[in-house]
Amino acid sequence: MQTQAHTRNSFAEDLYMKANMYFDGQPSGSYANIVFYAKAILLFLTYIATYLYFILGTGSFAEMLLACFIMGICHVFIPVNMSHDAIHQSISSKSWINTIFLYGFEITGTNSYMYGKKHLEAHLNKENGSKKVAIESQGLLLQRQNAERAVNLPVIFYLLYSQYLIFIRDFILFFQSTEKIPQKELLKLFFCKVAYCIAFIIIPLSYIKAPIWQIVVCMLFMYIVITLVAVIILLMPTEKMESTRINDDHTVNDRWLIEVLEHNVDFSPGSTFLNLVAGGANLNVVHYLFPSVNHVRYNKLAALIEETATEYGQQYRKQVLRDVFGIHFNYLKNIQSDI
């Protein structure tokens, strides 16, 4: 049943009004809180300590595999939990703090400049009613170019997905770009890629006191872990948009907001633990509606979205965590078909 306020406001106006009231009651507003910074420090220290143990330790083969498992998790969780928010300038109002956290991409082998550029373009496309799927516009699919268009590679190639993201994708996007790229970004690309290769190829093979086959198996295992986690988080299929986010009078378009609700799913939106572990990647609806808000605020925003959607008779699609695996399995199984 509609409340009296609905005669004055639109669906979008009510939702964003409630969100702003929530932000006004928080010491850091829509930015990160102490939980975010504590988690970031823990992830960074875990990554460095595990790497040093892997290189300098004299552990068993099983301990080396465990170290690589933890490093593989950190390879994904550091960018997802820290650097993704930095792309959206949602960690702090101070730009230099966001810039520091962007380097979470570089220390895990990818490139903050190109990932940030493509990710923000995908958001802009969605807000402009683009027919292009976000993961395609970001170059996140494995594709080959034929005479007419890009064709998705068979799902078997996704066993090497993390190697593609780290060692290939950034170079393809840099050299296919039609826009002028700052010289400093090109230098950063090459310097950080070389540093990563030294850290994760040269040093392990040179300094670890273990048989070469054990080192190679451990490193391959790390990249398998990265692949499994990255595919689940990154390759979330989303449908194409018809409407634009902003109306001619500069208000938020109700129809655009409703399309986001219709075309996206949030997984376990009430779970604070999952939100903190996944960096908000489980809450796509919240992220599309509030891209400049830090993910530590997502659970409360998910509740506000559901509450407001119910008031206006709109559907808020949510599923439990286990459902995400079925979605990705079916998506990858059909990935050779057109997007």
Q: 36-78: per-residue pLDDT in tens?
A: 999 999 999 999 999 999 999 877 999 999 999 999 999 999 9
Q: How many structural domains is the chain composed of? A: 2
Confidence of residue 335 (pLDDT cuts 50, 70, 90): low
My answer on whether 281 and 211 are in the same domain is: no
CB count within 10 Å of CB 210 equals 15
pTM of model > 0.75: yes
With respect to residue 196, please indicate whether it lies within any of the assigned structural domains: yes
- In angstroms, the CA 130 to CA 313 distance is 26
My answer on whether 251 and 188 are in the same domain is: no
My answer on whether 103 and 224 are in the same domain is: yes
With respect to residue 329, please indicate whether it lies within any of the assigned structural domains: no
Looking only at the bridges linking them, the beta strands covering 318-319 and 266-267 are parallel
Q: Output 237 or 186, whichever has higher pLDDT.
A: 186
My answer on whether 61 and 208 are in the same domain is: yes
Mean pLDDT of 165-177: 91
pLDDT of residue 141: 72
My answer on whether 254 and 229 are in the same domain is: no
pLDDT of residue 110: 96
- In angstroms, the CA 240 to CA 259 distance is 9
With respect to residue 290, please indicate whether it lies within any of the assigned structural domains: yes
My answer on whether 124 and 261 are in the same domain is: no
My answer on whether 40 and 158 are in the same domain is: yes
Last residue of a domain, one of 188, 203, 234: 234
My answer on whether 296 and 179 are in the same domain is: no
Answer whether 49's CB lies under 8 Å from 80's CB: no
My answer on whether 112 and 185 are in the same domain is: yes
Strands (E), the chain: 143-145, 150-152, 266-267, 318-319
My answer on whether 41 and 118 are in the same domain is: yes
SS3 313: coil
With respect to residue 330, please indicate whether it lies within any of the assigned structural domains: no
pLDDT of residue 126: 79
With respect to residue 41, please indicate whether it lies within any of the assigned structural domains: yes
pLDDT of residue 54: 95
Domain that holds residue 286: 4-30+241-321
pLDDT surpassing 80 at residue 112: yes
My answer on whether 46 and 194 are in the same domain is: yes
With respect to residue 200, please indicate whether it lies within any of the assigned structural domains: yes
With respect to residue 193, please indicate whether it lies within any of the assigned structural domains: yes
pLDDT of residue 243: 78
Answer whether 292's CB lies under 8 Å from 264's CB: no
With respect to residue 328, please indicate whether it lies within any of the assigned structural domains: no
My answer on whether 245 and 229 are in the same domain is: no
Last residue of a domain, one of 208, 234, 260: 234
Last residue of a domain, one of 178, 208, 234: 234
